[in-house]
Amino acid sequence: MDRASENIGESRKKKEFVRELFVKISQPSYEYDVNSIVKAFYPDRQVKVLTSESVSLWKEYEAAVQERKAEGAWEEIQITLEAGGATIKMQVEGKVPGLIGAEYEWQTILTDEKNYKAEFKRFIYRTLESHTGKSLPWGNLTGIRPTKIAYGLMEEGRSQQEIHTYLKENYFVSDEKAELSIQIAGREQEILKQIHYEGGYSLYIGIPFCPTTCLYCSFTSFPIAAYRKRVDAYVDCLIREMEFVSTRYADKVLDTVYIGGGTPTTLEPEHLEKLLGKLHSYFDFSTVKEFTVEAGRADSITEEKLAVLRKYGVTRISVNPQTMKQETLDLIGRRASVEQVIRAYELARGMGFDNINMDLILGLPGEDAGDVQNTIDRVVELAPDSLTVHSLAIKRASKLSDWILEHGISTLHNTDETMRLAAQGAERLGMQPYYLYRQKNMSGNFENVGYALPGKYGYYNILIMEEVQTIVALGAGCISKRVYPDGRIERSDSIKDVGLYIDKIDEMIERKRRLLCD
């Protein structure tokens, strides 16, 4: 390695370290929640939670102490959990901008043994709020389904005011987000009246192939160019799973079918023909209220593929630009140009698709409010039937994590203003928010919101979030969920790797047999 390469490597190493924030917990408890809350307050740090069981992390921590404390760039959090209380201590020292050498300590008494975890989460949230001087729009909520709380309370007969107060007092949710949760939960409750909970189910089919892997993506996806020789075998395995499920659930009502990915339209027309033809031969579509296929990437959409989708009665598709700024599309690895997105959308509309969704991502590298406004304006001109607005989520498994280490998180701008611009765009289109979910490490600590015209709501999107109906998922990297009448949920996953999924298809079917058979 030459000297220049060594300097670059050392520079990246230092940059990465300064962004680390170690959190030490006295016992193995609530690591996920601690990580999520701390990360929300410190989005520019790599949060690492250590307990007595974190052997490898402790070695990393000790090495970091020796290497960095001498340089004067250090901050860590210590949490002590006891039967009757908890203590949080902040140690801050060194020359990191904004940090002043000091030690801070907060203590509390946690008296409610039954709700100890909830009390502790409230305590750590209030501590970090006091320490940083900022509040989070979703308070201390760490789960991905905040509307599920409002939905459940609504099912209990609670009033909107009672639900609002509950969200604020128990989770410190802002007024704006509490109102959004209540509004969406009410709309979901009305929409799902048509769904068969106990006697029905929904079907998900995963196509884990994409033209390329986007910078921000952590989903199960494989470059289609490298897997073309395995597509036939993969489709055959999906058909085998279909046959089993159709037999096992012959007495149940199929409410929705969703084909996602990856990018389903990376399949060639003949593969789509085979897959959809077999799907219709195995299942009764007379009860299906919604049949969605994520066309997604404009560079995978052709007239021939759309014709196959129309032939087999697909009622809802997605044509997803993510942004209408060409420079950003180039950066994040989406090969389709803005012009291709527009042509693909107009082609689908011209062929008769009357329920088209478009996905947008806020907080993409380098984009500001002006870029978001331009994207919204262009989408409004196209007038899709639904719009899903995502807040960028920074996944460790994505290339974006490495990009941020090199360029800094300050290049990501997702703010109240950009979220408001998207909401206003949906309102201009006559759309209403109808489902919502969150992800870990979301830019700005915001949320993903689905907007739609009345009558164009995505049933499956609500079902996957509210977990009120069994969803049987076919394909590599998919997770089936069986929902019992008492609300209990059991899950069964499939192997993510395409090759292993194909080789072990008998085992994948056996997993479903154990999940679905009484």
Q: Looking at the structure, do residues 186 and 199 belong to the same domain, yes or no?
A: no
Q: Looking at the structure, do residues 440 and 378 belong to the same domain, yes or no?
A: yes
Q: Looking at the structure, do residues 492 and 442 belong to the same domain, yes or no?
A: yes
Q: Looking at the structure, do residues 117 and 162 belong to the same domain, yes or no?
A: no
Identify the sign of the CA torsion 195, 197, 201, 207.
Answer: positive
Q: Looking at the structure, do residues 367 and 228 belong to the same domain, yes or no?
A: yes
CATH of the domain at 129: 3.90.950
Q: How confident is the model at residue 2 (pLDDT cuts 50, 70, 90)?
A: very low
Distances (CA, A) of 231 to 210, 226, 297, 478: 12, 10, 18, 17
Helix (H, G, I), strand (E, B) or coil at 335: coil
Q: Looking at the structure, do residues 118 and 145 belong to the same domain, yes or no?
A: no
Task: Tell me how many domains the chain contains.
Answer: 3
Look up residue 239 and give its two tokens. Answer: 């058909």
Q: What tens digit of pLDDT does each residue of 176-222 get? A: 999 999 999 999 999 999 999 989 999 999 999 987 766 556 555 67
Q: Looking at the structure, do residues 240 and 338 belong to the same domain, yes or no?
A: yes
Q: Looking at the structure, do residues 203 and 120 belong to the same domain, yes or no?
A: no
> E strands of 308-400, at which residues?
316-319, 356-362, 386-391
Scanning 75-202, the segments in alpha helix (DSSP H) are 116-132, 146-155, 160-171, 175-191
Q: What tens digit of pLDDT does each residue of 425-464 get? A: 999 999 999 999 998 777 677 899 999 999 999 999 999 9
Q: Looking at the structure, do residues 344 and 400 belong to the same domain, yes or no?
A: yes
Residues of the domain holding 56: 3-134
Q: How confident is the model at residue 226 (pLDDT cuts 50, 70, 90)?
A: confident
For 68, other C-beta atoms within 10 Å of its C-beta total 16
Helix (H, G, I), strand (E, B) or coil at 425: helix
Q: What tens digit of pLDDT does each residue of 15-42 get? A: 443 467 899 999 888 999 999 999 899 8
Q: Looking at the structure, do residues 212 and 183 belong to the same domain, yes or no?
A: no
CATH of the domain at 499: 3.80.30.20
Q: Looking at the structure, do residues 210 and 359 belong to the same domain, yes or no?
A: yes
Which value, in Å, is the radius of gyration of the alpha carbons in the chain?
A: 24
Q: How confident is the model at residue 61 (pLDDT cuts 50, 70, 90)?
A: confident
Q: Looking at the structure, do residues 292 and 362 belong to the same domain, yes or no?
A: yes
